[in-house]
Amino acid sequence: MSFAKIDDDILRTLRAPGPMWYGGMLLALSAALVGLFAFLYQARTGLGVAGYEHPILWGIYITDFVFWVGIAHSGTLISAVLFLFRARWRTAVARAAEAMTVFAVMTAGLFPIIHIGRPWFFYWLIPYPNERQLWVNFRSPLVWDLFAISTYLTVSAMFLYLGLMPDIAAARDRVKDWRQPIYKVLALGWRGTSRQWQHHAALYGFFAALATPLVVSVHSVVSWDFAVAILPGWHSTIFAPYFVAGAIFSGIAMVITLLLPLRRIFKLERYITVHHFENLAKLMLTTSLIVSYAYLTEFFVAWYSGNPFEQGTFYDRMFGQYWGYSWMMFTCNVILPLLLFVKSFRTNLKALFVLSIFVNIGMWLERYVIIVSSLSHDFDPANWAGVYQPTWVEAAITIGSFGLFFTLFLLFIKNFPALSITEMKETMDRKAEADPAASWPEPV
Amino acid sequence: MADTTQILGIFDHGAKAADGARAILDGGLGDVVAYSPVPDHAIDQALHVGVSPVRLFVLIGGLLGCATGFLFPIYTVLDWPLITGGKPLISIPPFVVIAFELTILFGALGGMASFLWLAGLPRVTGQPAPDDRFTNDMYGISVTCLPEDADAVRATLERHGANEVKG
């Protein structure tokens, strides 16, 4: 193993795509177009085509919003938090997770716009001097959301780009096809001088230090969209840590879902090993336990509060009209992840892949249950009969969001190094320094 | 500067390049620019690379963001006083969220802008590095020296294990 070999192996992933990539792209793009069509239909016809019915005026779109923001969280956790803790194994998975973060935030950011009645006026959320002479209400959590999500998108995109810059320069010098001029522009003339590395390394550390509190704040702010309302099932002080843990849990599941096929298609078994997946599985298990604890705490607090509305909401959640979703959520997020205590399960990649999909489904359902079942059981018993039925438009837009996310991700991995070339070389260098006789680990 | 010459030593190992650079600087033979595919601490030490001032700009950006996050919402509520939810116009707790986010946003933007400025990026014209291999697996020591020192520079680079010496 040498620096040149790392370059060759990773830049090989940028070669002309094979049938699997085209197949995936076709599927993802078709799904994205279905979503776009449904959105245009909704914009033209009106929000009535979504299944909202009083009192359930937040539904699938807000579920999707929270889900995608959650998916974004593991990228920053892996690239920033694990960087600060010097967990070196992150090198192999950080780039894909960072890219996933950026695309998931982009996807999430669309949902508040899709959810509003007149999406073409979404910019009214931005505080700017305008002809209406009005300012936004900074006391509203929806404005906090705008600030949190746009900050998160900007910072995570810069973080991704900063790490990519030396790798794009490597691609610029090695990949001789129509993309070379694009790499040339994006590399910004990176030369790899010691002065550039000095500032690069300093800024990377600061980005990690800034992104860590940011990642905690973003999902906390999202959770306050609910927690500052007085609705039973939402009005809870545990929401911020509960949502942050859930976000990281679902995000890691998505990293596993994406990385396993990526590793297989690009034959990167030498770099992304079973050891990496086992570590991700351990993180998933830890966050699953935190989420399970939060579920139980919610029920305990509802019971202990002595508030009949609070108790009613949680009883209804388990045994009311949405019981199926709640029990599925429990199975996927609490019971199935317990299998990860078994080492042979953690190191069985097929089993891990299947579990990660269950966790993705479970975490989507969690948001659905929190939003819809709480809204359906407010303070007015006359409202309790209403059942929210998602329409085909909402389903199509949700499918479209997955399509958009996977389209962006597939385009990224075919055009940019899916693993950090620089960090791979650094890790190799450090290993060689520590023990010159040690060879690069062989694929498992 | 018209009477200086450029000599480039290409090394296959960072430690050799660092030794070469140190020998050139210790001998007072010229100015050194080092190129490497990864950040290399041996080279940093040889070239006496210090602490990056990027941190100062992150701090300034962060403080500016924090101030903006409080002052801007306060300005807007005073510009159009509108009481909502019976809360005071200047409600500090909700503004903390805005200030927190803007601290991070401005800190990161300040850091990014200062990095680009300090690293001399973007560099639009000319060849990025004197050799394509510096982003791959080779290290470069580029020496700017007087023509009369050129032979000594070449000899020093070769003595420290340069695979190639150009110029």
Mean pLDDT of A317-333: 93
Distance CA B162, CA A220 (A): 55
Residue A121 has pLDDT above 80, yes or no: yes
Q: Does A3-434 carry CATH code 1.20.1630.10? A: yes
Residue A438 has pLDDT above 80, yes or no: no
The alpha helices in A57-193, defined as continuous H runs, are 60-76, 82-84, 91-115, 141-174, 180-186
Chain-chain contact of B136 with A3 (C-beta, under 8 angstroms): yes
Q: Note whether A229 and A55 are within 8 A (CB).
A: no
pLDDT digit string, tens, across residues A417-434: 988 898 888 887 666 655
Distance CA A174, CA A184 (A): 11
Residue A337 has pLDDT above 50, yes or no: yes
Q: What is the pTM of this model?
A: 0.92
CB pairs under 8 A between A and B: 186
Interface test with A, best of B38, B90, B131 (most A CBs within 10 A): B38
- With CA atoms as reference, report the closest residue to A141 among B55, B91, B23: B91
Q: Note whether A43 and A383 are within 8 A (CB).
A: no
A 10 A CB-CB count for A49 gives 16
Which amino acid is residue A320, in one-letter code? G
Least CB–CB distance from B76: residue in A135, A187, A207: A135
| B123 occurs within a structural domain | no
Tell me which residue range forms the domain holding B71.
54-118
Query: What is the Cα gyration radius of chain A?
Result: 23
Determine how β-strand B31-35 pairs with β-strand B5-11.
Answer: unpaired
pLDDT digit string, tens, across residues A221-246: 999 999 999 999 999 999 999 999 99
pLDDT digit string, tens, across residues B30-83: 899 999 999 988 898 888 888 999 999 999 999 999 999 999 999 999 998 988
Mean pLDDT of A28-45: 96
Distance CA B42, CA B22 (A): 10
Residue A443 has pLDDT above 70, yes or no: no
Structure tokens at A434: 């520590």
Q: Do B62 and B108 sit in the same domain of this protein?
A: yes
pLDDT of residue A265: 85
Mean pLDDT of A89-116: 92
Structure tokens at B59: 């701090």
Determine how β-strand B164-166 pairs with β-strand B31-35.
Answer: unpaired
Residues from chain A that touch B35, judged by Cβ atoms under 8 A, are: 191-194
ipTM of the shown complex: 0.93
Q: Do B38 and B69 sit in the same domain of this protein?
A: no
pLDDT of residue A250: 94
Chain A residue with minimum CA distance to B17: A194
User: What's the CATH code of the domain at B36?
Assistant: 3.30.70
Residues from chain B that touch A422, judged by Cβ atoms under 8 A, are: 37-38
Least CB–CB distance from B135: residue in A139, A155, A173: A173
Q: How would you class A203 by CB atoms within 10 Å of its CB: exposed for 0-12, middle for 13-18, buried for 19 or more?
A: buried
Q: Do B107 and B79 sit in the same domain of this protein?
A: yes
Chain-chain contact of A425 with B37 (C-beta, under 8 angstroms): yes
Domain count, chain B: 2
Q: Does B15 touch chain A (CB under 8 A)?
A: no
Q: pLDDT confidence of A1, banded at 50, 70, 90?
A: low
Residues 57 through 96 of chain B touching chain A, CB cutoff 8 Å: 58, 72-73, 76-77, 79-80, 82, 84-85, 87, 91, 94-95
Q: pLDDT confidence of A256, banded at 50, 70, 90?
A: very high
Residue B131 has pLDDT above 70, yes or no: yes
Q: Do B111 and B69 sit in the same domain of this protein?
A: yes
Q: Does B157 touch chain A (CB under 8 A)?
A: no
pLDDT of residue A444: 36
Q: Do B111 and B61 sit in the same domain of this protein?
A: yes
pLDDT of residue A441: 47
pLDDT > 90 in chain A, percent:
67
Place of tokens 């010229």: B30
- With CA atoms as reference, report the closest residue to A153 among A89, A233, A68, A230: A68
Averaged pLDDT of chain A: 90
Mean pLDDT of B144-156: 89
Distance CA B34, CA B20 (A): 10
- With CA atoms as reference, report the closest residue to A99 among A410, A399, A403, A359: A410
Interface test with A, best of B77, B104, B134 (most A CBs within 10 A): B104
pLDDT of residue A430: 62
pLDDT digit string, tens, across residues A282-293: 999 999 999 999
pLDDT of residue A434: 55
Q: How would you class A133 by CB atoms within 10 Å of its CB: exposed for 0-12, middle for 13-18, buried for 19 or more?
A: exposed
Least CB–CB distance from B38: residue in A139, A173, A429: A429
